[in-house]
């Protein structure tokens, strides 16, 4: 059986922007559009050009700059809208005019105050008008899922005759149920005689939490395009989440017999960018891109993951651009995960030492809701000898400011010798790290840098955590001080000492 190609129509910049407080300016839209191109979506709906000068400018700038993807502009079934959309998408390598007009009796009576015949004529006229500007015209029957099915079939047939190359069947208010939606798509496929002349698209809202389920049901019934947004943002409860639709198709290829062109490794990066720009936070338990999507705390799960990831993961985190799974230590964690975390922190415990440390860990879990790595380091300090200090901080002087080039002078004790180095950097921490790196001649890569306040107030004790990687070894370093630059230096040096300890470990034979 031939695998069908499923177009991904991203409307993050149009419908997604309609999330309360999620409006973007022109430059922000361009930034997201560039990342959407790297994600390799098929269509970017860049905005609603007639809505405002800013929206027009954003659509036009994206059409001018973004290549290799279709750029769409939304328009009502009105000449002024269509002309404005045509002007905005004109510079695109591939430009689409997306026209919408309601077809449900509710909208006809209360919003449009038009008859069915008037709506049908307006839809056909709008599509013909748009075809005068581009060969790529999409028609959306707004509130299709609450429309009379036979009237919807008639509208679909006539707009295809008029030149629509894509017909969208939106669940505008998130009302329909998956089985019902599947029946509707099937009804259209069987009743519209020229249905094969256009791509059937679906655009599902999430008011009942069924947007993704409805979209995937439509795919099974023959839809060729899914309209969605990153992180599922959008009007009211949002839209079908792009990452969920795409990864469902990728994870269950035999079931859906459909594939997309999405570069899935760019999903997490795109999700983070959209969240940062719109200010819409991704919930921790959000599928695919949430902080807990690949996190495991239950001991049975952690043990299974450490033995074979497929026991509790149906997809690899690397597939969506997340470096690795996370084992979250807590009261549900088992001995295997605890030992693995100790190893990551630079400790090798076995036998009675491990038993005592694990018992203390379990007692601590009953006292604290969150267990941090520094908690673990503290509780095992009596059971294990720490790695020897090859490097130790003797002195640090930093100068920085709005009109001063950030500079750091570092004095390190390297075994029995004190070495001094002065370096400049992008900031005081960068300058400090450059100096330390030169002194220690480290080849390590800084993978993570985190700062947090341990106590409150301006005199708070600050803590820095860094993650370093070198030759396949990953270690974490910690440092605390009321001076955050000193804390950063301590954390970096702590990690470098752990790497030195790893280098001295005896190599096991193959």
pLDDT attached to residue 509: 35
| CA distance linking residue 311 with residue 451, whole number of Å | 34
pLDDT attached to residue 358: 79
In the chain, the percentage of residues whose pLDDT exceeds 70 is 84
| CA distance linking residue 443 with residue 7, whole number of Å | 44
| CA distance linking residue 100 with residue 59, whole number of Å | 17
Write the burial class of residue 112 (CB in 10 Å: 0-12 exposed, 13-18 middle, 19+ buried).
middle
CA distances from 483 to 424, 429, 437, 463 (A): 19, 11, 20, 9
| CA distance linking residue 83 with residue 188, whole number of Å | 30
Lowest-pLDDT range of 13-27, 98-112, 369-383: 369-383
DSSP secondary structure letter of residue 397: E
pLDDT tens figures, 63-92: 999 999 999 999 999 999 999 999 999 999
pTM: 0.68
Angle, CA 334 vertex, CA 333 and CA 339 arms, to 5°: 105
Sheet holding 417-424, edge to edge: 391-401, 404-414, 417-424
pLDDT attached to residue 162: 98
Map 42-108 to HEC letters: CEEEEECHHHCHHHHHHHHHHHHHCCCCEEEEEEECCHHHHHHHHHHHCCCCCEEEEEEEECCHHHH
User: Is residue 295 very low, low, confident or very high in pLDDT (cuts 50, 70, 90)?
Assistant: low
pLDDT higher at 346 or 444:
444
pLDDT tens figures, 488-506: 999 999 899 888 876 665 4
| CA distance linking residue 270 with residue 288, whole number of Å | 12
Lowest-pLDDT range of 75-79, 253-257, 358-362, 433-437: 358-362
pLDDT attached to residue 132: 97
pLDDT attached to residue 499: 87
pLDDT higher at 269 or 456:
269
CA atoms within 13 A on the CB side of 489: 27
**β-strands 326-327, 295-296 pairing:** parallel
Q: To the nearest 10°, the Cα dihedral for 305, 306, 307, 309?
A: 40
Instruction: Map out the domains of the chain with their CATH numbers.
Output: 4-278 (3.20.20.70), 295-380 (no CATH), 391-503 (3.30.160.270)
Q: To the nearest 10°, the Cα dihedral for 43, 49, 53, 57?
A: 30
Query: Is it the case that residue 123 has pLDDT exceeding 50?
Result: yes
pLDDT tens figures, 407-424: 999 999 998 899 999 999
- DSSP readout, 441-496? T---EEEEEEEEESS-STTPPEEEEEEEEETTEEEEEEEEESSHHHHHHHHHHHHH
Query: Is it the case that residue 454 has pLDDT exceeding 70?
Result: no
Query: Is it the case that residue 405 has pLDDT exceeding 70?
Result: yes
Tell me what the pLDDT averaged over the chain comes to.
87
Query: Is it the case that residue 213 has pLDDT exceeding 80?
Result: yes
User: Is residue 473 very low, low, confident or very high in pLDDT (cuts 50, 70, 90)?
Assistant: confident
Q: For residue 170, give the nearest of 3, 29, 9 by alpha carbon.
A: 9
| CA distance linking residue 233 with residue 508, whole number of Å | 51
Write the burial class of residue 428 (CB in 10 Å: 0-12 exposed, 13-18 middle, 19+ buried).
buried
Average pLDDT rounded to a whole number, residues 336-353: 71
User: Is residue 382 very low, low, confident or very high in pLDDT (cuts 50, 70, 90)?
Assistant: very low
pLDDT attached to residue 380: 62
Average pLDDT rounded to a whole number, residues 393-409: 93
DSSP secondary structure letter of residue 109: I
pLDDT attached to residue 384: 43
Lowest-pLDDT range of 70-74, 374-378, 392-396: 374-378
Query: Is it the case that residue 461 has pLDDT exceeding 50?
Result: yes
Average pLDDT rounded to a whole number, residues 137-144: 98
């Amino acid at each position: 059986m031939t695998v069908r190609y499923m177009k991904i129509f991203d409307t993050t910049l149009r419908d997604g922007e309609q999330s309360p407080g999620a409006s973007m300016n022109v430059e922000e839209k361009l930034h997201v559009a560039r990342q959407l191109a790297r994600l390799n979506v098929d269509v970017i709906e860049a905005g609603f050009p007639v809505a405002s000068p800013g929206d027009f400018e954003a659509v036009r700038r994206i059409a001018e700059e973004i290549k290799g993807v279709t750029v769409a502009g939304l328009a009502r079934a009105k000449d002024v809208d269509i002309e404005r959309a045509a002007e905005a998408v004109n510079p695109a390598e591939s430009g689409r005019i997306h026209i919408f007009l309601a077809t449900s009796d509710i909208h006809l009576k209360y919003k449009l105050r038009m008859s069915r015949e008037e709506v049908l004529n307006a839809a056909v006229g709008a599509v013909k008008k748009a075809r005068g500007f581009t060969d790529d015209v999409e028609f959306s029957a707004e509130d299709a899922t609450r429309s009379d099915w036979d009237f919807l079939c008639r509208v679909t047939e006539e707009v295809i005759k008029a030149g629509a190359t894509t017909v969208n069947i939106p669940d505008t208010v998130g009302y329909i149920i998956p089985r019902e939606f599947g029946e509707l798509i099937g009804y259209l496929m069987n009743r519209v005689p020229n249905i094969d002349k256009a791509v059937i698209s679906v655009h599902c809202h999430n008011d009942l939490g069924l947007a993704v389920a409805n979209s995937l049901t439509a795919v099974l019934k023959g839809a060729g395009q899914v309209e969605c947004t990153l992180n599922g943002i959008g009007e009211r409860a949002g839209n079908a989440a792009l990452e969920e639709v795409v990864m469902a198709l990728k994870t269950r290829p035999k079931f859906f017999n459909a594939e997309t062109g999405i570069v899935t490794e760019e999903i997490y990066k795109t999700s983070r960018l959209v969240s940062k720009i719109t200010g819409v936070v991704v919930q921790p338990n959000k599928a695919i891109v949430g902080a807990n999507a690949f996190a495991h705390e239950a001991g049975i799960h952690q043990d299974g993951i450490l033995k074979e990831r497929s026991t509790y993961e149906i997809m690899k985190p690397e597939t969506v651009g997340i470096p690795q799974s996370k084992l979250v230590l807590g009261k549900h964690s088992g001995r295997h995960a605890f030992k693995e975390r100790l190893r990551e922190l630079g400790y090798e415990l076995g036998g009675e030492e491990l038993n005592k440390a694990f018992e203390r860990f379990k007692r601590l879990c009953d006292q604290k809701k969150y267990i941090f790595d520094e908690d673990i380091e503290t509780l095992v300090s009596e059971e294990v000898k720490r790695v020897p200090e090859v490097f130790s901080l003797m002195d640090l002087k930093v100068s920085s400011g709005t009109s001063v080039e950030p500079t750091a002078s570092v004095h390190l004790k390297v075994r029995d010798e004190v070495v001094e180095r002065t370096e400049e950097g992008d900031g005081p921490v960068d300058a400090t790290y450059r100096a330390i790196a030169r002194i220690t001649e480290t080849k390590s890569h800084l993978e993570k840098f985190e700062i947090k306040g341990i106590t409150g107030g301006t005199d708070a004790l600050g803590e820095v955590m860094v993650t370093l990687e070198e030759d396949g070894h990953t270690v974490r370093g910690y440092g605390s001080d009321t001076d955050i630059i000193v804390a950063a230096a301590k954390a970096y040096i702590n990690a470098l000492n752990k790497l030195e300890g790893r280098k001295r470990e005896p190599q096991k034979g193959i």
